[in-house]
């Protein structure tokens, strides 16, 4: 149905062209604002490349920085960065649609299709209602996070600055941005604070679950309370996508935490000297932040080689679809895994949770993983070529973090030369809009009107 609608709209530009262009325009506007003298604490003009890098990392909710957010930017500059994070996290189309809603503007069919594509939905039914719930849910969770952060930050910074730091951190955590205005060492100074780390982990996970999963869980819980359902019945009434996302998210978090705990247990430069409870807490935090958050409670450059390569895998996977997280997404990779099992077991169709998986979805998943992998490898090689002395682990970690919009770094971002910074800027942009979107940007939804069925060729693989 959506494809037929798109063909009949007859618009000059497609969603695949408008959305990437919107992000690019926002990045450029942010860079111009950050170049202004009053955007910096010292009242000096920031170089265009640094301003562009900071604007890109904010809009693309990544978190990699070439200059310290805490000390370099003025209050105005930090407000600009926060605005870019919020706009980038929700998406350009969602924000402009919110403004249109506030102005009581009626949405045309073309605008509805644009919103549908922005959230990667498959139906126009209930679209505006979905958008309103996304906006309300986002602000509600960010304000709730702010309230919990204030318990810790107000006693440290006072009421006004404490509120500002709490709100900035909550928005950054929920949008999976990883930028902060606390200091120059992320959350390392709070690595023994269960309240702050738990709140941050909850916001990161909620942002990464995806909007569809939220609403399904909220609706399911509300119905269960009304009808007094038990846990098993509640679980069965959730949509198959929600159940799969929850299973995969818990599996990734627990497996990541266990592996980090085992690999870093005796590492004195990370969690080696911590008490057992603190080791477990920080292992869980590292597992969660790997998957697109960008906050750190231990120096990433001190992680062991095995942990760093493990982190690259978790960063590449990322969060779940239709949320604020980056990466190829959990469901995407799992669909490919299931398709592989289907071939090995000689089954006719790929299934998950007693449901068939559409072949078009499998093809889309294959394309997403293949293109992201190609971009990551290519940009890693380019980073090694242009930055002499850079080792493979650091380059791969940096590039994967950029493409997956994570924001973790082994402390090499500020030392990158101009070419290296441009490579990371492009990687962050591609990671936020999706590399496939660039191809669609130039081709739109064009297809040849006449379909020719060719004879089957004889090819060999494997």
Least confident among 7-21, 142-156, 178-192: 7-21
What pLDDT, in 10s, does the model give residues 1-15? 444 444 444 445 565
Query: In sequence order, what are the beta bridge partners of 355?
Result: 352
Residue 170 included in any domain: yes
How many domains are there within the chain? Answer: 2
Q: Positive or negative, the Cα torsion across 359, 361, 362, 363?
A: positive
Residue 187 included in any domain: yes
Q: Indicate if 251 and 147 belong to the same structural domain.
A: yes
- The whole-angstrom separation of Cα 389 and Cα 385 is 9
- Taking each helix axis as running N to C, give the angle between helix 75-90 and helix 159-174, from 0 to 180 degrees, rounded to the nearest 10: 30
What is the pLDDT averaged over residues 116-124?
Answer: 63
As a whole-number percent, the residues of the chain with pLDDT over 90 amount to 53
- The whole-angstrom separation of Cα 455 and Cα 127 is 42
CATH no. for residue 390? 1.10.287
Pairing between β-strand 355-356 and β-strand 351-352 as defined by DSSP bridges:
antiparallel
Closest alpha carbon to 289 in 136, 186, 388: 186
What is the pLDDT averaged over residues 286-292?
Answer: 91
Residue 388 has pLDDT above 60, yes or no: yes
Residue 241 included in any domain: yes
Decide which of 95 and 199 is more confident.
Answer: 199
Q: Indicate if 312 and 336 belong to the same structural domain.
A: no
Cβ neighbour number for residue 108 with a 10 Å cutoff: 11
Report which listed range, 8-22, 202-216, 260-274, 434-448, is most confident: 260-274
pLDDT at 421: 96
Closest alpha carbon to 417 in 54, 34, 40, 49: 49
Q: Indicate if 345 and 307 belong to the same structural domain.
A: no
Q: Indicate if 165 and 271 belong to the same structural domain.
A: yes
Report which listed range, 94-103, 231-240, 443-452, is most confident: 231-240
Q: Which residues constitute the domain of residue 244?
A: 2-317
pLDDT at 127: 72
Q: Indicate if 197 and 236 belong to the same structural domain.
A: yes
pTM: 0.87
What is the pLDDT averaged over residues 81-87?
Answer: 92
pLDDT at 228: 76
pLDDT at 5: 46
What pLDDT, in 10s, does the model give residues 337-360? 999 999 999 888 888 888 898 888
Residue 452 included in any domain: no
Q: Indicate if 55 and 82 belong to the same structural domain.
A: yes
């Amino acid at each position: 149905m959506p494809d037929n609608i798109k063909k009949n709209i007859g618009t000059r530009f497609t969603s695949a062209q408008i959305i990437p262009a919107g992000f690019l325009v926002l990045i450029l506007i942010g860079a111009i604002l950050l170049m202004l003298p009053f955007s910096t604490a010292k009242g000096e003009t920031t170089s265009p490349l640094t301003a562009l890098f900071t604007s890109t990392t904010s809009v693309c909710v990544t978190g990699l920085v070439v200059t310290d957010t805490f000390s370099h930017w003025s209050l105005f500059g930090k407000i600009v960065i926060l605005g870019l994070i919020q706009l980038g996290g929700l998406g350009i189309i969602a924000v402009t649609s919110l403004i249109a809603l506030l102005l009581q503007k009626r949405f045309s069919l073309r605008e509805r299709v644009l919103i549908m594509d922005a959230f990667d939905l498959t139906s126009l039914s209930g679209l505006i209602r979905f958008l309103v719930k996304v906006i309300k849910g986002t602000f509600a969770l960010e304000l709730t996070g702010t309230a919990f952060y204030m318990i810790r930050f107000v006693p440290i910074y006072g009421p006004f600055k404490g509120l500002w730091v709490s709100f900035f951190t909550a928005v950054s955590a929920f949008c999976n941005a990883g930028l902060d205005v606390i200091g120059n060492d992320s959350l390392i100074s709070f690595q023994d604070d269960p309240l702050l780390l738990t709140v941050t982990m909850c916001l990161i996970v909620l942002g990464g679950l995806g909007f569809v999963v939220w609403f399904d869980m909220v609706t399911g819980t509300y119905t269960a309370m009304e009808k007094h359902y038990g846990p098993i019945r509640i679980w069965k009434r959730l949509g198959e996508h929600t159940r799969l996302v929850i299973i995969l998210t818990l599996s990734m978090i627990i497996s990541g935490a266990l592996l980090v705990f085992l690999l870093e247990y005796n590492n004195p430069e990370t969690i080696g000297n911590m008490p057992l409870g603190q080791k477990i807490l920080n292992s869980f935090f590292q597992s969660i932040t790997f998957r697109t958050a960008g906050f750190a409670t231990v120096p990433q450059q001190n992680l062991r080689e095995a942990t760093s390569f493990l982190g690259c895998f978790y960063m590449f996977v990322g969060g779940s679809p239709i949320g604020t997280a980056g990466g190829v997404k959990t469901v995407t990779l799992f669909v490919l895994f299931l398709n592989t099992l289907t071939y090995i077991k000689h089954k006719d169709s790929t299934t998950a949770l007693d449901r068939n998986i559409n072949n078009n979805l499998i093809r889309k998943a294959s394309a997403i993983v293949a293109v992201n992998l190609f971009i990551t490898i290519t940009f890693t090689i380019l980073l090694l070529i242009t930055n002499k002395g850079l080792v493979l682990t650091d380059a791969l970690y940096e590039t994967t973090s950029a493409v997956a919009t994570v924001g973790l770094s082994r402390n090499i971002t500020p030392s990158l030369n101009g070419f290296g910074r441009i490579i990371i800027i492009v990687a962050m942009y591609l990671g936020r809009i999706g590399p496939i979107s660039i191809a669609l940007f130039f081709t739109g939804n064009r297809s040849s009107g006449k379909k020719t069925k060719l004879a089957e060729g004889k090819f060999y693989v494997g």
